[in-house]
Amino acid sequence: MVQRRASLRRVAKEIERELTRLYGPLVGGDDLVRCCGLKTGAAFRQARARGSLPIPVFPLQGRRGTYAFVADVAAWLASQQKAVARATSGAHKPRKQRLKRG
**What distance in Å separates the CA atoms of residue 55 and residue 39, rounded to the nearest whole number?**
16
Per-residue pLDDT at 31: 96
Domain boundaries, the chain: 2-85
7: pLDDT confidence band, cut at 50, 70 and 90?
confident
The structure's pTM equals 0.76
CA-CA distances (angstroms) from residue 44 to 47, 74, 98? 5, 18, 39
81: pLDDT confidence band, cut at 50, 70 and 90?
confident
User: Residues 14-49: pLDDT tens digits?
Assistant: 999 999 999 999 999 999 999 999 999 999 999 999
50: pLDDT confidence band, cut at 50, 70 and 90?
very high
